[in-house]
Every structure is written in structure tokens, then in C-alpha cells.
Structure 1
Amino acid sequence: MAVTQMRDGGQVLIWRWSDRSRDVAPRIRIALRCTLRELGIPDETIEGAVMAAWELTANSLRYARGPYEMRILRKDPLFVFEIEDSDPRVPVMPPSCSSETNAFTELAEHGRGLQIVDKFTRGRWGFRLTANETKIAWMAISTTVNG
């Protein structure tokens, strides 16, 4: 499931799977957690990174079809997590929460995951389309605890 390559001087770790792959969720979370440790991401950052990356991945699994590809690219001083799927539709970010709104209890069921990603990455995330009309969801992971 994992392949390591070098691209543009940065390490890229790739996982590929299809709609028929089994036990994708736990395998991805474990592989991502291990990869971040190997890359020297501080332990204090890993859990948040895995949670935010999983939110982007879960959206791909729920709303798109495979094949899927997950990558981590070194872009000093950050790592960039990417998940690519075959759906060219880009999700719309829900409006930011006001200071009176608790994002985890008061937002509708949909959109809370992207709020988690936004908070963890401090706004360093997004979506882009490829020339092949696939969608890539990405987020930046800081290499420091205070990011």
C-alpha cells in the first residue's frame, strides 16, 4: 500500500486504494501516524494532523469514488498532506463560526470536519483540480508544535 518516491527534492509517501479496498480507514490512520513520526513531526502535533487529514480523507471516501491516492510532500518548513480522488466537485467551506458559536456542537452535521481542518492548519488548506479533472484536497502540517 505504501510507496516512497523522491520528487523535487521532497519526500513523497504514497498510498493508493480503490473502492474495493478493505479496512481503509484504520490502515490509513495507522500509516499516517507512523509516517508523521518517521518524518520527525512532534508528538504534540501528530494527533491533530491525523484527525485533520482523516477529515479530508473521509470526505473523499464519502462523496467521491476511487481510485484514491494519499501523499505527504516535504515543503520546508511544512509537510503538505494531499488526498486525490476522481470527483472534480470542490466542496464549499461553511461560513466561519462567530465567537458565540461552538463549532463542535452547534454546526449542522455537515461541514464540521472542514472546520477541524481549518482550525488545525490555521487556514493553510484547500482544494485544487488537476489537468485530469480529479480533485486534490490538501493541508499544511507544521513541523513545529506551535505551527
Structure 2
Amino acid sequence: TALVIGDVMGRGVRAAAVMGQLRTAVRAYARLDLPPHEVLQLLDGLATEIDPSQIATCVYAVHDPNEGRLVYASAGHLPILVRDEHGAIHRAPEPTGPPLGTGGWLHTSDTIPLAPGSTAVLYTDGLVERRDADIDEGLHQLEAALAGATGSPKVVCDRLMRALGVTETHDDDVAVLVLQHPARVGGDAELFRNAALDLLGGVEAAPRARAFASGVLTSWRFPPDLHDLGVLAASELVANSLQHGTPPMRLRLRRTDRRLIIEVTDGDDHLPRRRRADAGDEAGRGIAIIATIASSWGSRRTPGGGKSVWCEFALPTT
């Protein structure tokens, strides 16, 4: 899941127009599954083209619940705050690059832990900045408020706004985004599962992957049609990795309350693309099959120089 928040300097029609274009662009860039700092670099170039006199701060973060961390890049924006599963407050390191529109191309990605039971908060400076006080005072006040703010993300947002004195007459615009990674306990944990298989390559890798996927999906009690589609998707993704990727290779299946996600990672960073295979071609149909049977699919580069190719299926509602 990608999360983004930003703030264009200034007010009025010009600032609103710049923000609207950046918002549209970031939604498109997010679909490319790029690392956070590459998204900010693209936005930086676009902001310079739109209006060189306008700059904006922004933070773009990606959360993978199975990794237990938030990977982010910050273009001059205020730090992400995280309350961990023990209630301690952590502040992400300082911005990892200059504001958008400066043309710096110096952004990097960083990480902050986000284990089950944690809450992360992204916000604009209107929440913590006051004319009569240093901004660090506002940040400390926000940290204290987050330490005692429990409940759903909406409840946490409301409590933080009240604690920082934001009312309808507030003289600055405020945006707050709350992400929770809940700890799954009891019967609820049955809906969130994860299984992985390391693939050694060779001719035995594909049948091993199919058998593994079939066994996992059977143990998760998926209906026959979804079971068969999942096994087919795993087989095609593994075959694609065997043909075009390099070791190490890994198959991972994840179940949430709404989705089945099948993912294959390998050591090659060349991203696949969907293409039309001619009648005589012996290859080139795997990604087309995935795109046809799955609800969605994509690929992204992973830290260390490899890639991940994934697809997901929407689970039937009950």
C-alpha cells in the first residue's frame, strides 16, 4: 500500500492548480511500483516543468505488512511519526531529499519499523506550526497526543486534531493521514496468512511450485475455481522467473480478508511487460495469462537489485 501526503507552498488558485497536477501524477506513478525515491524524483521534474516558482514538500511511503516496515522518501516534509506495538513514539529520520520543484534529484529512500500493532501518522505543517511557537514544540505536542490516541484511524485523526487545537477557524490548511497495522489475534488471524517457498531453479522448480501452491490453497480452504486459478498463476509466474530471471528465486502466497496475493521474486531487475504473442511463438504468453485471470498484476524492483512480479485475486464476499 502506498501512502502520500504533500503541501504546496503558498495559497490561491496557482498553488491549488499545482497540487491538483501533482496529485494526478503521483497516482499514475504509484501504479509503476517504483521505489519511493524514484517517485519523488519524477514528481520533482514534473513540478519544475509545471511552475518553477512553486515548490512543494511531500512524503511517499510504501507499506508491506509482511515486511514489518515502512519504506519512504521525504522531499523536505515533516517526519513520519510511529507509535510501536509497545506504545513508544518514534520519529522517522530527517527528510531524505530537497522539496519538489528544486531540481535537485538527490532523493533517497529510508525505512522505519512498522510491526503489527503499530500506528503511523503523516501530516502537513498546518497541524504543528504556530506563529507564536517553534515548530519543534508542535512536534513534541503531536508526539504526546499520539502516545495516548487509540481507536480506529478516523478516531486517531480526530483526537490529534483536537489535541493540536485545530478548529473550523484554524488559519492554515491541515491534512492528517493515519495508517494502522493491527495485530491479528484469535479467529481474525485466520484471515491473514503467509506462506513462502525458496526455489532452487532447474526443471523441478515449476512442479514443486505448483505442488506447494496447491497444498497451501487447499489448507486455506479456497473454493475449487479460485484454487485452480491460484495454482495456474503461481505456475506462470514461476515459469516466467525461471526463463527470464536469476537466482535467488522465491514464491510467496499471502491471504488477507479481501485478497489472495501471489508473488515471485528473483535476482534480475528487468521488469516484465505484457505483449501479444504471435501464433508461432513458443513463449510470451505467461504475463498475458496472468493479466487475464487475475484481478490485477504488477512488478517492481526490490532492494538489492532484484524484482518482484505479483498478481492478486479478489476473494468472494460472504
- Normalised to the residue count of structure 1, the TM-score between the two structures is 0.76
3-state SS in 1 of match to 2:264:
strand
Q: C-alpha displacement at 1:74, in angstroms?
A: 2.1
Shift of the 58–144 alpha-carbon distance from structure 1 to 2, 3 Å rule, reads same
3-state SS in 2 of match to 1:62:
helix
1:32 matched to 2:200:
no
1:14 matched to 2:196:
yes
Q: Distance in 1 between matches of 2:216 and 2:280?
A: 32
- 136-145 or 112-121, which deviates more: 136-145
1:75 matched to 2:248:
no
The 8 Å contact of residues 262 and 312 in structure 2, kept in 1 or not, is answered as yes
Deviations 1:117-146 (A, max 9, x none): 111113x0110111222110101023339x
3-state SS in 1 of match to 2:270:
coil
3-state SS in 2 of match to 1:65:
coil
The 8 Å contact of residues 90 and 127 in structure 1, kept in 2 or not, is answered as yes
Describe how 1:100-139 pairs up with structure 2 within 5 A: 106=279, 108-122=281-295, 124-139=296-311
Gaps of 5+ in 1: 1-5, 96-102
Deviations 1:29-63 (A, max 9, x none): 11101101111221112112211221111010111
3-state SS in 2 of match to 1:15:
strand
Q: Distance in 2 between matches of 1:54 and 1:134?
A: 20
The 8 Å contact of residues 53 and 117 in structure 1, kept in 2 or not, is answered as no
3-state SS in 2 of match to 1:72:
strand
Shift of the 86–132 alpha-carbon distance from structure 1 to 2, 3 Å rule, reads same
- Code of the residue aligned with 2:234 in structure 1: it is A
Aligned equivalent of 1:43, options 205, 216, 224: 224
Q: Distance in 1 between matches of 2:247 and 2:212?
A: 19
Q: Distance in 1 between matches of 2:290 and 2:307?
A: 17
Gaps of 5+ in 2: 1-64, 67-115, 117-183, 185-191
Q: Distance in 2 between matches of 1:34 and 1:47?
A: 11
Percent pairwise identity: 27
The 8 Å contact of residues 273 and 287 in structure 2, kept in 1 or not, is answered as no
3-state SS in 2 of match to 1:48:
helix
The 8 Å contact of residues 217 and 227 in structure 2, kept in 1 or not, is answered as yes
- 42-51 or 7-16, which deviates more: 7-16
Number of residue-to-residue matches in the alignment: 130
Q: Distance in 2 between matches of 1:24 and 1:108?
A: 23
3-state SS in 2 of match to 1:58:
helix
The 8 Å contact of residues 245 and 267 in structure 2, kept in 1 or not, is answered as yes
Q: C-alpha displacement at 1:92, in angstroms?
A: 1.9
Q: Distance in 1 between matches of 2:241 and 2:254?
A: 19
- Code of the residue aligned with 2:194 in structure 1: it is V
Larger radius of gyration: 2
Shift of the 32–61 alpha-carbon distance from structure 1 to 2, 3 Å rule, reads same
